[in-house]
Structure 1
Amino acid sequence: MLQKQLTLLISCLLICLSQGTFAQSKKKKKSSKNPVTAVEAKSPDSKKEPKPYKKVIDSTAVTQRGLIDVHKIDNKYLFEIPETLLGSEMMTITRYSKTPAGGGIFGGEEINRQVVRWEKGPNKNILLRSITYVIMSPDEDKPMAQAVKNSTSDPIIGNYDILAYKKDETGKITGYVLDLSSTFDGDVQTFSLDPIKKQLLNIQAFQKDRSFISKVSSYPINTEIRSVKTFATTPPRINTTPTPKIGVDLPSALDAGVVTVEMNTSMILLPKKPMRKRTFDARVGYFANQYGVFEEDSQKSDKEIFAVRWRLEPKSAEDAQKQKKGELIEPLKPIVYYIDPATPEKWKKFIKQGIDDWQIAFEHAGWKNAIRGEYWPENDPTMSLEDARFSVLRYFAAEIQNAYGPNVHDPRSGEILESHIGWYHNIMSLLRNWYLIQASAVDPAARSKKYDDNLMGELIRFVSSHEVGHTLGLRHNMGASSATPVEKLRDKDFQEKNGHTSSIMDYARFNYVAQPEDGVKNLFPRIGDYDKWAIKWGYSYFEDTKNAAEEKAFLNEMTKEAYKNRRLWFGTETSPYDPRYQTEDIGDNAMRASEYGIKNLKRILPNLLEWSKEDGESYAELDNLYGALTGQFRRYMGHVTKNVGGIYDNPKTYDMTGNQYEVVPKSIQKDAVTFLNTQLFTTPKWLLNQDVLSKINPENGVESIKGMQDATLTSLMAGDRIVRLLETSAASKNNYSVDELMSDLNKGIFSELKSNSSIDMYRRNIQKLYVDKMIELLKPGTTTVRSASASRRVNLAQTDLPSIARGQLLNLKNDLKMSSTRMTDRMSKYHVLDLISRIGAALDPK
């Protein structure tokens, strides 16, 4: 649901990487070009020969048996790598256990993950390689496989002398004793911070003398290594000229000149036999992994794209038959999420309910008790919150207003291995603001500064369900709410049965359309029809399909049948042009939904002072709520604007009827412009409530209104929107055109010219904004137009845009001239004459 808010750290990361935020999409594994710290290479002459096992692992050793046997001798940890582990692939997941305050990083968050493999070296040594899945070849015994291997050399991240061999009774080697101290108490990038994270935290040199392994634990399928690492930091510099600041100065670094971070690395064995991949389908919203595939008999390379999901399998063949006959069965291994013991006690049950709510969706896939929330057991020394065997909802003491739901999955198959949901304490503040602004006109319980525990608990429950959905592999379905007709959002019976969106994975928040007189009580999102269908698609067990190809064909038929029901459609979170796929919107018509929403905002605004007051406190809370209300109003403008130049993106395959792309009908686009002329460009003076503004702002709102109008005009005239209008209107005269858009805006923004009425300051501002933007279109430059597959640059000066802008400005200039002779209001006349002069200078520059 909630993408991780922009802290200073994340803002810096965006600057460094020059890319936007998302939601939640697939994670790519990349190898670093930076050198890693490893055991220094030794000359053959200095190499120590392995010693007898009992000489190395003597009677003083304290041994833990597990995936890797670990022997502690004095303060040194020796790792015994079993022979059976050589060549097997493991996932390493490194997380923060403890972090310095003030850096936007928190204990429990993931630092990095990699697939690694142990293998024998050439000279009585063991190598540790990092494995990167970029290209593959299924034909292991064909020449093509060798060509792939030649182009996929995996980096060596560790080179270890064999201290001793472990042998069985027959003398056969069963294990290799290694000293991995320099790997885990050092600064090897795979198990530490990468260069970008160091730069963002202003970290410099690693401090070996203040770094150590604090604990090692080994279990049957994983080994856990906890280490403490200390780093010197970059001293703050005094600059006389403002310069962009990349890193963040940690308070502890300013005090001590160093920072200490505690980390935990989980080394977990990947399944010997990878789970069968389920081929990705763009019609169903799952995260995906992919790699290039080169086959011996193919005429081109291909990509294998597969969904990310948990492995659910029957306990027995008998159970599989029961499920096939329609009986619900329990999976061999259920999905379990533990709740961080640091979570405030009163919220734990609501978080657990949010997890358990997904059980109904898994029942649609043939499973019972497939997923559940559990409280973290007390005093269990075999469990650790950072242990990759356990999925945990981690609670962070942070001011960030957010939560997020990632997962760790096997890159070979997409099998989810575990997930650590991040939950920031201040998300409750965000939830309160959302609910008050969107639902308080209908729900009296929302009209207070602090919510009772039950209401806040239910809000937490819905967020918990949303984030768990991500960890099940589900992406945002931003189109789900568009399947609900606007008037059904006011139908209490329909809402009680179906809710206001068909998916909790939408950013639909709350039902802001319902009016006080409607009697609607169900205002929250919940597990909906799409969620049940998506889980059925991803988690059904198909015993009779022999391979991924047969499974894909079977799922295709299921999906085509499902797509007969609009409530089961997936709407991508990334479409730049489909108005149905938007965040924070609900209903199938943005104009009608937003009109109802504005009616409720008009009811809410006069009450903000009363609902936020607290004796002895400043008006900061009132300011916060007014900002939230105007932000909601801006969202409505954005929802409507996206219809202009909009194109519907209907996921299709060759065996489905209809076109994938359809132009938004002209009537809807014209309705959108009419709405903007009425609700925004005609001054929304209801927002200028002086009882509120006089307590939070020395100004009276003129510039605030202008800012909203400017942002919407800029969006309406954005280059990519203009290009879509130009292209679609060229294809058919029945489609909305740039010329019609500008004519419709002229009628609304300059309506005073026909009536010769006076033009107040607010309207003079919007008219100047419009004229200036039209003048800019005479020399429009270039723009980037995004499409489903790529982006392209378009030189707008070489399109019809400058010609249309010139013609529109000429017409407007004539209208202004005619009106100027009849204007009686002095400021209005000055204003009109000024616009005439601006347009004249632009059309005929001297």
Structure 2
Amino acid sequence: MKLKPVLLLIFLSTLAYAQKKKQNDTPPPPENAIAAKVKGMKAYDGFFDFYYDEKQDKVFLVIDKFATEFLYVHSLPAGVGSNDIGLDRGQLGGERIVKFDRRGPKVLLVEPNYRYRAVTENEAERKAAEEAFAHSVLWGFKVEAEDNGQVLVDASDFLLQDVHDVAGKLRATQQGSYSLDRTRSAFFMERTKSFPQNSEFEVTLTFTGQPAGNFIRSVTPTPSSVTVREHHSFVQLPDNGYKPRKFDPRAGYFSMSYADYASPIHETIEKRFITRHRLEKKDPSAAISEPVEPIVYYLDNGTPEPVRSALLEGARWWNQAFEAAGYKNAFRVEIMPEGIDPMDVRYNTIQWVHRSTRGWSYGASVTDPRTGEIIKGHVTLGSLRVRQDFLIAEGLLAPYEEGKPASKEMEQMALARLRQLAAHEVGHTLGLAHSYASSTEKLASVMDYPHPVATLANGKVTLQNAYDDKIGAWDKASIAFGYQHFAAGTNEAQALEAIIQNALKEGLTFLSDQDARPTGSAHPYAHLWDNGSNAADELKRVMEIRAVVLKNFGEKNIRPGTPWATLEEVLVPMYFFHRYQAEASAKLIGGLNYRYALRGDAQPVTEMVPAEQQAKALDALLSTIAPASLMLPEDLLQHIPPRPIGYTRTREVIKVRTDLTFDALGAAESAADMTVSLLLHPARAARLVEYHARDPKQPSLESVLDKLIASSLKARPSAGYQGAVQITVNDVVLNNLFRLALHKESPAIVKGVVYLKLAELKTALTAMEKNTTDQQWKAHYGYAVSRINTFQQSPGEYKQDELLPPPPGQPIGETLFHGCPEY
């Protein structure tokens, strides 16, 4: 009996040992497959978690959101530095809605086709539209590991691709054939981050090849190796709380559109909405209310003073428009705090960008393709703009008098332009398009392109009011249309129409790029870089200022100690000071006044420009090619020597036929061709024919050509320098007549008129040759007759002369390095 407890103890000990042994023999649960794969890598948690393998320079992405759409944006945070190539720091590359789709061992990055939709609750109808049009698969990933519905993929090849098409851009701009060199490319981890609503990836990419153009040579230390940085953003899409606003062509906004195949037959299939930020009042019923969330922009903290203050002030002008629309503190501009990445799509940014040459500034946006909601405003401002306005002021004011300090008026004018520029480009990122009629309506919008307003006071030029200093009346109307938040129960369509009608009653007109940019366009009010309510009157005024400036031009236009040859840089914007106003005046000839009129809105639809206005414009244009207008003072010509070493000729100075020396006749040739080519544009000639046929009071093409020829080729010959300029102008006119007759866009009726005028001209010139004893003029008339003969005999084989072009005009800017090669 006493042995029983001992046996029990032995039994229990044996049982415990057996259980412990069983536990020790059981293998541990398997380690998480993803965790095992990324062990030792640096983790980044956020919208998409990812890991960086420093040893292999690879990024592994964790995908836990399948069939969930998000926004994919690529950009160029570190660019090439040449406006001509067009690969600038901070350039956005467009946005796409994408989603991950698991297919067995693969994950596809799919871009649905939002251009074609069926907006309906009917799933079958939606699917029918979806399956009717192609989608795009942007990439295919191999699954490296997976756990609990999450998969791990190696995203390195996807992120290290040339998604911004830098190689294609270099090839398209004829800079060379470059390809991506992966051995010289790597992840840029300083700007690779993940946040709750977005994940950001940045890479350094090197492109190798043989440079073929001077643009790339001028900005790259070793042109065979071009290194930039490209950025990828994965962004959570906004919620569905945004309400799209219908597009109206009269309101001044950019549009987004799609085809809705669920539209009833009696409705248009194309749906159009404006692009704008989300902005709502806290109290929609209040006349003035704070916003639920303000629109905030951040200015590049690398911007220097006094530029920084000017840009802040100009960008902040927009708060005037939002206040007029009933908001309090709805729009703010602040200096970018440390830690904010300008490529982060959560922040609206204004970047200060350096280039080697003058260039455009840009207002771009990241927009939700589904709705038109602007997610990020992204402004790029070129730093050389302020220097070019300063250069223009040097030309106008001649400020460098011996022993006297230079006037502050130049800097004040340049900073005034920067304020306007900041407001203009921010306006684009608010959704606003160019408004090119505003300069004729008392500067009604900062969305026009303003030319500096110079005035004469006691025979001297002043720039005290060169640029506007506020938001215009049209800007306030546009912001009201796009951002006004209406109280519950308001008929929004009627309220928006009332905003448009009030603007029309105030005499405000909206016309944009397609009406203003083409040199053959017809609108009498839609122009770039012009001023004044009447283009011809303003051209006359501008020519008066130009005459005063050129008469007094000389050593006071350059700083003491500067090479005399650099007078030419300052001379160019003065000699061609009238170029944009001449463009505006030319549009009156064969011009058509029209509006973006809607049926029932009581706007004028079309009306031909009155004949008397066209006659005034023609006289103003012909004054710009009068020899006296194109001649330069002899004292000035004696003070422009060939370029010294280190100051080679750039594209920003006047083109010459005289090798190293300044070419006064070449300057006259360029300026004359600038005007005559505008006047004899094929589209303008065709309108002259048509409008005169429809209304005999309108000027005919014959009458315009007769007046042009009478003021040039048939004019009384002059002697000396003036005579040489007159002959140069005559050659320009004759070349443009040939050009118009041979142009593929010229209709037969236009060609017939030009052929007739050339025949008449040959007879007149033959007689003029016989009646002169001046050898220079006899040679000129004889050569002109021989050219007409050659043209008449074989017009299809006639080779036109290449006239010297003026230095580039738009955008107003300059070359930074005087020593760079001409291109």
Q: Name 1:129's counterpart in structure 2.
A: 110
- The 2-side partners of 1:768 and 1:456 are apart by 38
Whether 1:707 and 2:675 are equivalent positions in the alignment is no
1:23-38 matches, within 5 Å, as none
Q: CA deviation at 1:251?
A: 7.2
**For 1:269-312, what per-residue CA distance to the aligned partner results, in whole angstroms no more than 9, with x for missing partners?**
11131622222222122222222232363279732222111110
Q: Quick check: which has more Rg, 1 or 2?
A: 2
- The 1-side partners of 2:729 and 2:672 are apart by 7
**For 1:24-65, what per-residue CA distance to the aligned partner results, in whole angstroms no more than 9, with x for missing partners?**
xxxxxxxxxxxxxxxxxxxxxxxxxx9736854888676544
**For 1:155-210, what per-residue CA distance to the aligned partner results, in whole angstroms no more than 9, with x for missing partners?**
152334272335xxxxxx6xx142343345532x5577574467767432441585
Q: Name 1:305's counterpart in structure 2.
A: 272
Q: Name 1:396's counterpart in structure 2.
A: 353
Q: In 2, are the aligned partners of 1:294 and 1:301 still within 8 Å (CA)?
A: no
- The 2-side partners of 1:747 and 1:523 are apart by 37
For structure 1, the 5+ residue unaligned runs are: 1-49, 167-172, 237-243, 485-500, 784-793
- The 1-side partners of 2:165 and 2:764 are apart by 68
Match of 2:204 among 228, 234, 237: 228
Q: Name 2:3's counterpart in structure 1.
A: none
Q: In 1, are the aligned partners of 2:438 and 2:509 still within 8 Å (CA)?
A: yes
Q: Name 2:333's counterpart in structure 1.
A: 373
- The 1-side partners of 2:201 and 2:268 are apart by 40
- The 2-side partners of 1:559 and 1:440 are apart by 45
- The 2-side partners of 1:258 and 1:699 are apart by 37
- The 1-side partners of 2:304 and 2:250 are apart by 39
- The 1-side partners of 2:239 and 2:87 are apart by 33
Q: Name 1:610's counterpart in structure 2.
A: 555
Change (3 A) 1:283 1:710: same
Q: Name 2:647's counterpart in structure 1.
A: none
Change (3 A) 1:753 1:670: same
Q: Name 1:13's counterpart in structure 2.
A: none
Deviates more, 1:329-338 or 1:64-73: 64-73
Q: Name 1:163's counterpart in structure 2.
A: 145
**For 1:687-710, what per-residue CA distance to the aligned partner results, in whole angstroms no more than 9, with x for missing partners?**
345424641563562232133223
Q: Name 2:425's counterpart in structure 1.
A: 467
Change (3 A) 1:651 1:689: farther
Q: Name 1:40's counterpart in structure 2.
A: none
Q: Name 2:249's counterpart in structure 1.
A: 282
**For 1:464-517, what per-residue CA distance to the aligned partner results, in whole angstroms no more than 9, with x for missing partners?**
122211211122211101124xxxxxxxxxxxxxxxx11111112322356558
Change (3 A) 1:558 1:776: closer
Whether 1:628 and 2:573 are equivalent positions in the alignment is yes
Whether 1:507 and 2:441 are equivalent positions in the alignment is no
Q: Name 1:561's counterpart in structure 2.
A: 502
- The 1-side partners of 2:558 and 2:605 are apart by 52
- The 2-side partners of 1:102 and 1:767 are apart by 38
Whether 1:385 and 2:342 are equivalent positions in the alignment is yes
Q: Name 2:683's counterpart in structure 1.
A: 720
- The 2-side partners of 1:439 and 1:529 are apart by 31
Q: Name 2:309's counterpart in structure 1.
A: 349
- The 2-side partners of 1:62 and 1:836 are apart by 81
- The 2-side partners of 1:250 and 1:212 are apart by 27
Letter aligned with residue 744 of structure 2: T
Match of 2:259 among 273, 292, 302: 292
- The 1-side partners of 2:595 and 2:708 are apart by 30
Q: Name 1:93's counterpart in structure 2.
A: 73
Q: CA deviation at 1:366?
A: 1.2
Secondary structure of 2:147's partner? strand
Q: In 1, are the aligned partners of 2:77 and 2:231 still within 8 Å (CA)?
A: yes
Change (3 A) 1:689 1:404: farther
For structure 2, the 5+ residue unaligned runs are: 1-29, 516-520, 643-660, 796-823
Q: Name 1:663's counterpart in structure 2.
A: 608
Q: In 1, are the aligned partners of 2:353 and 2:381 still within 8 Å (CA)?
A: yes
Q: Name 1:421's counterpart in structure 2.
A: 379
Q: In 2, are the aligned partners of 1:340 and 1:376 still within 8 Å (CA)?
A: yes
- The 2-side partners of 1:105 and 1:722 are apart by 34
C-alpha RMSD over aligned residues: 3.9
Q: TM-score, normalised by structure 1?
A: 0.77
Q: Name 1:574's counterpart in structure 2.
A: 514
Whether 1:408 and 2:366 are equivalent positions in the alignment is yes
Whether 1:265 and 2:232 are equivalent positions in the alignment is yes
Letter aligned with residue 367 of structure 1: Y
Q: CA deviation at 1:540?
A: 0.8
Match of 1:115 among 81, 88, 96: 96
**For 1:326-364, what per-residue CA distance to the aligned partner results, in whole angstroms no more than 9, with x for missing partners?**
2x2221221211121221144222211112111111111
Q: In 1, are the aligned partners of 2:284 and 2:488 still within 8 Å (CA)?
A: no
Change (3 A) 1:447 1:523: farther
Secondary structure of 2:372's partner? coil
Q: CA deviation at 1:819?
A: 5.9
- The 2-side partners of 1:812 and 1:313 are apart by 68
Deviates more, 1:516-525 or 1:573-582: 516-525
Letter aligned with residue 523 of structure 1: A
Change (3 A) 1:466 1:754: closer
Deviates more, 1:189-198 or 1:268-277: 189-198
Letter aligned with residue 258 of structure 2: Y
| Percentage identity across paired residues of the two chains | 22
Q: CA deviation at 1:593?
A: 0.8
- The 1-side partners of 2:618 and 2:725 are apart by 19
Change (3 A) 1:834 1:64: closer
Q: Name 2:285's counterpart in structure 1.
A: 321
Secondary structure of 1:336's partner? strand
Secondary structure of 2:325's partner? coil
- The 1-side partners of 2:734 and 2:91 are apart by 51
Secondary structure of 1:600's partner? helix
Q: In 2, are the aligned partners of 1:650 and 1:660 still within 8 Å (CA)?
A: yes
- The 1-side partners of 2:608 and 2:464 are apart by 36
Secondary structure of 1:419's partner? strand
- The 2-side partners of 1:758 and 1:462 are apart by 42
Q: Name 2:5's counterpart in structure 1.
A: none
- The 2-side partners of 1:759 and 1:116 are apart by 64
Q: CA deviation at 1:570?
A: 1.0
Q: In 2, are the aligned partners of 1:347 and 1:457 still within 8 Å (CA)?
A: yes
Q: In 2, are the aligned partners of 1:268 and 1:388 still within 8 Å (CA)?
A: yes
Secondary structure of 2:614's partner? helix
Q: In 2, are the aligned partners of 1:285 and 1:570 still within 8 Å (CA)?
A: yes
Q: Name 2:586's counterpart in structure 1.
A: 641
Q: Name 1:804's counterpart in structure 2.
A: 753
Q: Name 1:537's counterpart in structure 2.
A: 481
Q: In 2, are the aligned partners of 1:758 and 1:823 still within 8 Å (CA)?
A: no
Change (3 A) 1:297 1:201: same
Letter aligned with residue 137 of structure 2: P
Change (3 A) 1:447 1:363: farther
Q: Name 2:160's counterpart in structure 1.
A: 186
Secondary structure of 2:179's partner? strand
Match of 1:731 among 661, 685, 694: 694
Change (3 A) 1:687 1:279: farther
Q: In 2, are the aligned partners of 1:688 and 1:700 still within 8 Å (CA)?
A: no
Letter aligned with residue 344 of structure 2: D
Q: CA deviation at 1:125?
A: 5.3
- The 2-side partners of 1:753 and 1:829 are apart by 13
Letter aligned with residue 804 of structure 1: V
- The 2-side partners of 1:226 and 1:384 are apart by 11
Q: In 1, are the aligned partners of 2:591 and 2:609 still within 8 Å (CA)?
A: yes
Whether 1:589 and 2:562 are equivalent positions in the alignment is no
Q: Name 1:762's counterpart in structure 2.
A: 725
Q: In 2, are the aligned partners of 1:77 and 1:180 still within 8 Å (CA)?
A: yes
Secondary structure of 1:114's partner? strand
* Alignment: residue pair count: 730
Q: CA deviation at 1:820?
A: 6.4
Q: CA deviation at 1:595?
A: 1.4
**For 1:385-412, what per-residue CA distance to the aligned partner results, in whole angstroms no more than 9, with x for missing partners?**
3211112222223233342221111111
